Amino acid sequence: MESSENNTSEVLPPSGVSLSVPRLSTAGTVLAASVVLVAAVLMVWLSWSSARIDSVEKPEAALSLIVGRIMELRESIAEQSPWERRLYSTLLLSTPREVPLAIAWFEELAARSEDTIPNVELAILEAENGLTQKVANRVVAWRQLRGDFPGFAKLIEIAYLEGRDDSDRTTKVDLSFLDRLETRWFRDRLITRLSAVTPDVLSREEVLNSSNLLASIRIFAGVTLLIVVAGLLSFPWILGRLKSGVTEVTIGTASIPPAWNGRTSLAIILRCVAFLLLLVVGIGILIPVPKVNEQFLLAGVYLVGIAVLCKLSRKYLLDRSQKNIVESFGVSTVPGKLGGMVPWTALLTAAGIVGDLVVVWISDLLGVTVHWTEWFDEDLVWGNHLDLSLLLLGVIVFGPIFEELLFRGLIFQTLRQKYSFGTAAGLSGVLFSVLHGYSIAGFFALVWTGFIWAWSFEKTKSVLPAIISHGLHNLLMVLGLVLFLRG
């Protein structure tokens, strides 16, 4: 019996040596790297050469909605009890910098837009926050312009500026201009100021809509708080098992660091990314842009990415001496350990939320801001049910699966062959963050989440807790935007 086992061990190749796996050509790897490099340079050039608001199809309507909801929410929160105000300000990242930032956003848009409404909404926002001298200067300039500007100049002057002719207010004011302000908060603020000359103009709609927004935000805050509490309750359980030994926290079957070839892994990563880039470009060339459903494309690209990544890894990275792809990437679970994913998922999701809050708090203290175009999605606000469903499918299901298999299953494990856990997790987190293309605050937030998801993979030997936590994290972000902007 011993002789048979010894003979078998002699036949199998040493760890890390692949005798039965076909090799990837160097030329193909260089070509794939060139495609990725060209795409990266092009993306950097586009981000530097174009204004951020150009990425939004209807920036005027989008910014009006965002700032209007922010102001509505601030006013609703200010009417609540002290503990509720503190809770909402903490979980919703409401800070005194919101108003100056909103004004800066409107100034940026007004400078580029030929539409009258952004200028009028900027004036209302400034006037409501005591910047009457700026408003007075705008009114003087508007009187010399054509179109709707003179009419709005008269309304703004009567509503906010002192020294006007009070004896002739009603006869020279065209209140029909109010109907052109589609966002409720701006229209209602102007109506409130004009109510002295147009009595009973306020309707019950304002109260009802503000109440609905506050109810939506309470739902979001409640869900967020529940996840954080669940994470805190799970922490002692996980900490106790970490102290008990590796086997107590093991959920999956991945071997970290793996025994596969690092260069082959890099070649697979480059080929997979290059293939997806070429796929998107090819679709853009063959199909007219207006006919391309972006959310269908996003979900499809993620799904194809999963298939390509698994196919290349199975064919070129793994051999008969190693585990199959499900085991190697930590997708399978050890019998009887499936229940352990619940506390791990709760802890990871809560840690991601807390990390996001800390990054935004520090950014606010340092004066680092996040531009509204980074987190605004037009399909979340104005898309039909199909677009919204496809977006959720891509962002919550296919996206987390593909990204975790790529960044934790492949990149982190490959880096782990050469580096310590901290270095490998940090580098994979940086790559994960860079490829999302966010600004500095978003960059550090994603580095943090990438790091903790790699930590859970290292400890549990399973990528499933990271996939589920990734999906829940994205779901929470989508839920917040839908409740805030669409609800």
Q: Which of 324, 302, 317, 310 is nearest to 470 (CA)?
A: 302
Cβ-based neighbours of 372, under 8 Å, separated by 6 or more: 62, 63, 66, 105
* Predicted local distance difference test score (pLDDT) of residue 319: 66
Q: 3-class SS at 18?
A: coil
Find the mean pLDDT for residues 238-250. 81
Backbone angles phi, psi at 299, to 5 degrees: -65, -40
Does the pLDDT at position 168 exceed 70?
no
Does the pLDDT at position 317 exceed 60?
yes
For the chain, how are helix, strand and coil distributed in percent, rounded to 5?
Answer: 75, 0, 25
pLDDT band at 158 (very low <50, low <70, confident <90, very high): confident
Cβ-based neighbours of 417, under 8 Å, separated by 6 or more: 257, 258, 262
One-letter amino acid at 199 equals: P
* Predicted local distance difference test score (pLDDT) of residue 351: 96
Q: What is the pTM of this model?
A: 0.86
pLDDT band at 169 (very low <50, low <70, confident <90, very high): very low
pLDDT tens-digit readout, 36-79? 999 999 888 887 877 888 888 889 999 999 999 888 888 888 77
Cβ-based neighbours of 334, under 8 Å, separated by 6 or more: 250, 251, 252, 253
Find out whether 265 and 414 touch, Cβ atoms under 8 Å. yes
Does the pLDDT at position 93 exceed 80?
no
Find the mean pLDDT for residues 122-129. 93
Arithmetic mean of pLDDT over the chain: 84
Q: CA–CA separation, 436 vs 171, rounded Å?
A: 55
Angle at 383 between CA 378 and CA 388, to 5 degrees: 100
Domain borders along the chain are 57-202, 213-486
> How deeply is 48 buried, as exposed, middle or buried, from its count of CB atoms within 10 A (0-12, 13-18, 19+)?
exposed
Q: 3-class SS at 183?
A: coil
Lowest mean pLDDT: which of 254-268, 339-353, 420-434?
Answer: 254-268
Lowest mean pLDDT: which of 79-88, 98-107, 151-160?
Answer: 79-88
Find the mean pLDDT for residues 143-150. 87
Q: Which two tokens stand for residue 37?
A: 């490099």
Q: CA–CA separation, 255 vs 458, rounded Å?
A: 9
pLDDT tens-digit readout, 221-233? 889 999 999 999 9
CA distances from 249 to 407, 420, 449, 460, 465 (A): 22, 20, 20, 5, 12
| Of residues 413 and 208, more confidently modeled | 413
* Predicted local distance difference test score (pLDDT) of residue 18: 43
Q: 3-class SS at 140?
A: helix
Does the pLDDT at position 208 exceed 90?
no
| Of residues 245 and 129, more confidently modeled | 129
Find the mean pLDDT for residues 238-244. 87
